């Protein structure tokens, strides 16, 4: 082995220091996530959804998960009824109020079933305007999941007593929907149309000329959705085999969480250093990332040698991450291999890999692109293509995809396209690997990248990092501490044998485990290091994994208390593996506790509270294996009186439904003051016994007798001067439906529009 070759290894680590800029999905064998999006026809009670869920279950399509922020109403039998069917909502108002991104962020749908526009038609919104709203929402869906499948309905007919023109307006909209779908459908994110209009009779199939009845109406709607949903689901991913991803976690075949704690070893240049596997294990590592060659620059490592490497890993009870190093810096580094060439190599040694899914992770190619922006821009398609070829060759292993830009993803190409790559994997079994060197020289940059993947619900590991580098000084303390806190795997570079200019990255001198370097001491024996945090894979007989819950957090204390919000802080929990987050529980007065949020830190800002109200708080911790601590002691805080700017305006309107005692109320809250309102609660009273039908939209509603309160949601709690929030709900009346006579915001009286 020559230093020239070894320098080529290290070249894959080099990068000029740059700034990192921060930004459903599904996992291997994870259920396909289906969001039903619409108005009261979808959500209130929307029992066609219950029939659809049962039909899918009865015909073997059990791998589905209906998702949404609204719970299932009663439909006579248990079903998965989560949905986004908001009574009285307009498609144009969803866009106007930017509601959809918030719903998508938690639901992360793979398929959206959209029957939406009935209330727009009722409000005489032009067809072109409704279709423009569809286009905006489709763009938001694709931003959440580039491979989302939209199934859009031509609406059921309308014949309400108070809208003689609605029937023709529906026909006009329905006639335009197929052309809109064709113009906006793509191969990656298809748009298909379901005809819900033909054969649906407003006299026989509705209760009021609009809403489907509980017999023929919901049955007809379900019968049209079912074949379209089955087509959208397509072939379901095969059941996971061996190591695989579930959401953001890597787990073993038995479901035990597996958090990689390991070392990179340059086997292809030091094939005689087979003792390194046992030596790495002696420090408690559970994983080794092994450098192989595909033949373009090094090797090729033949199938027999691959089998020998796997045997060495298993002998030392190490999970084996096998990587092809020839791809390092493709597009910038002369002679580097493409990911397609790497895929050809993996297929050539497939027989040595098959059957080893419990022990082996296939790392497609090391740092597969350099800093050439034009070439790196092809990362998503090249990675997806390599994955497709491996799956086509019958390799069902957990795959690892390295980032472009010498592995550091400083242009956020992997961050922004990881979801599409995961969705392109037929098995949804790919974990993404970031290499953290000089780009990640501050805690803010490290956390921003980690946060982006957590927010997106995507699996991530740190495939390489060091304590120092020629392109800058990595923040190894934050990398290790945050990986531990979040349950992320990490693999340090490297065991031994780096060339002289980067010899400081050796963990041991001359492959001697008794001669640790400063980096080796820090990485292997230091805080949040391998010896302290590594847990052996259960496949090697290490028991059921982590079953010990964290200690209870300290009692939360409140600070910065205002009329509508406060900040909690508490003493951290401890855990034998690592705390990944905290759940915050809240009770109003002497009421029962319910979870109101979660955080990865020991602080939490609670907003949207009511003035002059006492709240009690508890906190519990969760670790990487999902173990939950006992709750903390109870902290108490009372909000101050008043809280608003004293300047607000409220617009209220209610539209009675034809042929019944229902109505839809729309409320606009405007801040007419000179300062921002941060967190708001609107209060009013009904004069004639009207009742709000929960949950409503745009706010959290409660009603006690005649008194109604509406508290902001997380996404609309701040009202700048002259800004407005639009909320609403369905309700019932007893024949008379006068408007409330007064409104107050955070205890201050508002004018009425």
Specify the pairing of strand 84-85 against strand 565-569.
unpaired
Identify the DSSP state of 297. S
Q: How far is it, in rounded angstroms, from Cα 431 to Cα 417?
A: 13
Point out the catalytic residue in the list 222, 246, 305, 367. Answer: 367
Q: How far is it, in rounded angstroms, from Cα 480 to Cα 519?
A: 13
Active site (annotated) includes residue 464: yes
Q: What is the DSSP string of 83-131?
A: BEE-TT--HHHHHHTT-HHHHHHHH--SEEEEE--HHHHHTT--HHHHH
Residue length, the chain? 753
Name, in order, each residue with C-beta under 8 angstroms of 505's C-beta and a sequence gap of 6 or more: 10, 13, 466, 468, 469, 493, 494, 498, 519
Q: How far is it, in rounded angstroms, from Cα 741 to Cα 753?
A: 12
Q: Which two tokens stand for residue 321?
A: 């991450």
Q: How far is it, in rounded angstroms, from Cα 465 to Cα 529?
A: 13
Question: Do 597 and 549 form a contact (C-beta atoms < 8 A)?
Answer: no
Active site (annotated) includes residue 367: yes
SS3 557: strand
Q: How far is it, in rounded angstroms, from Cα 23 to Cα 517?
A: 37
Specify the pairing of strand 662-671 against strand 724-732.
antiparallel
Task: Give the up-direction half-sphere exposure of residue 747: CA atoms within 13 A in the CB hemisphere.
Answer: 17
Identify the DSSP state of 186. -
Comparing C-alpha atoms, which of 23, 225, 248 is closest to residue 111? 225
Point out the catalytic residue in the list 464, 476, 536, 583. Answer: 464
Return the C-alpha torsion angle 45, 51, 56, 60, nearest 10. Answer: 130
Question: Do 490 and 466 form a contact (C-beta atoms < 8 A)?
Answer: no
- Residues taking part in catalysis: 367, 464
């Amino acid at each position: 082995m020559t230093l020239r070759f070894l320098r080529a290894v290290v070249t894959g680590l080099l990068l000029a220091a740059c700034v990192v800029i921060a930004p459903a999905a599904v996992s291997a064998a994870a259920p396909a996530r289906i969001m039903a999006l619409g108005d009261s026809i979808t959500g209130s009670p929307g029992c066609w959804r219950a029939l659809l869920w049962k039909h899918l279950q009865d015909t073997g399509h059990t791998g589905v998960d209906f998702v949404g922020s609204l719970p299932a109403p009663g439909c006579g039998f248990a079903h998965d009824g989560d949905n986004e069917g908001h009574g009285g909502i307009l498609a144009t108002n969803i866009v106007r109020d930017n509601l959809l991104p918030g719903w998508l962020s938690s639901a992360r749908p793979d398929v959206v079933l959209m029957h939406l526009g009935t209330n727009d038609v009722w409000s005489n919104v032009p067809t072109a305007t409704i279709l423009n709203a569809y286009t905006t929402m489709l763009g938001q869906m694709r931003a959440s999941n580039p491979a989302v499948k939209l199934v859009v309905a031509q609406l059921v007919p309308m014949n309400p007593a108070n809208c003689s023109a609605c029937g023709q307006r529906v026909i006009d909209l329905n006639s335009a929907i197929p052309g809109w779908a064709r113009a906006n459908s793509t191969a990656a994110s298809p748009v298909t149309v379901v005809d819900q209009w033909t054969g649906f009779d407003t006299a026989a199939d509705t209760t009021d000329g609009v809403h489907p009845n509980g017999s023929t109406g919901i049955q007809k709607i379900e019968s049209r959705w079912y074949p379209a949903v089955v087509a959208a689901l397509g072939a379901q991913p095969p059941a996971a085999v061996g190591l695989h991803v579930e959401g953001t976690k890597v787990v073993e075949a038995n479901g035990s969480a597996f958090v990689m704690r390991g070392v990179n070893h340059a086997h292809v240049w030091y094939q005689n250093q087979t003792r390194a596997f046992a030596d790495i294990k002696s420090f408690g590592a559970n994983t080794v990332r092994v450098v192989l060659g595909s033949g373009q620059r090094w090797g090729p490592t033949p199938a027999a040698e691959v089998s020998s490497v796997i045997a060495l890993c298993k002998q030392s009870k190490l999970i084996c991450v096998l990587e092809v190093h020839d791809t390092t810096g493709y597009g910038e580094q002369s002679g580097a291999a493409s990911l397609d060439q790497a895929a050809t190599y993996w297929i050539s040694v497939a027989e040595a890999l098959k059957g080893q899914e419990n022990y082996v992770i296939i790392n497609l190619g090391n740092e597969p692109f350099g800093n050439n922006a034009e070439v790196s821009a092809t990362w998503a398609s090249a990675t997806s293509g390599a994955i497709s070829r491996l799956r086509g060759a019958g390799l069902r292993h957990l795959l690892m995809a390295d980032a472009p830009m010498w592995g550091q993803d400083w242009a956020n190409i992997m961050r922004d396209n990881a979801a599409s790559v995961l969705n392109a994997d037929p098995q949804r079994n790919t974990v993404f690997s970031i290499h953290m060197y000089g780009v990640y020289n501050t805690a803010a940059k490290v956390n921003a990248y980690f946060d982006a993947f957590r927010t997106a619900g995507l699996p991530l590991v740190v495939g390489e990092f060091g304590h120092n580098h020629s392109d800058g000084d990595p923040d190894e303390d934050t990398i290790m501490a945050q990986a531990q806190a979040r349950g992320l795997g990490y693999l340090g570079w490297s065991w031994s044998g780096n060339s002289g200019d980067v010899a400081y990255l050796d963990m041991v001198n001359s492959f001697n485990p008794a001669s640790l370097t400063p980096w080796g001491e820090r990485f292997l024996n230091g805080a949040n290091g391998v010896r302290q945090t590594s847990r052996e894979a259960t496949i090697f007989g290490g028991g059921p994994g982590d079953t010990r819950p964290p200690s209870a957090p300290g009692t939360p204390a409140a600070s910065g208390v205002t009329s509508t919000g406060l900040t909690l802080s508490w003493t951290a929990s401890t855990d034998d593996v690592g705390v990944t987050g905290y759940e915050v529980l809240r009770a109003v007065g002497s009421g029962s506790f319910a979870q109101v949020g979660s955080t990865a830190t020991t602080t939490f800002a609670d907003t949207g509270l009511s003035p002059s109200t006492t709240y009690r708080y508890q906190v519990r911790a969760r670790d990487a294996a999902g173990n939950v601590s006992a709750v903390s002691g109870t902290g108490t805080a009372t909000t101050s009186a008043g809280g608003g700017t004293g300047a607000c305006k409220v617009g209220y309107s209610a539209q009675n439904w034809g042929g019944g005692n229902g109505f839809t109320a729309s409320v606009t809250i405007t801040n007419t003051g000179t300062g921002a309102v941060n967190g708001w609660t609107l209060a009013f009273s009904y004069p004639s016994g009207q009742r709000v039908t929960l949950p409503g939209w745009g706010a959290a509603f409660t009603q006690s007798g005649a008194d109604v309160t509406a508290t902001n949601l997380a996404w609309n709690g701040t009202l700048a001067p002259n800004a407005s929030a639009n909320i609403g709900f369905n309700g019932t009346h007893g024949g008379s439906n006068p408007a409330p006579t007064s409104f107050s915001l955070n205890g201050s009286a508002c004018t009425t529009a």
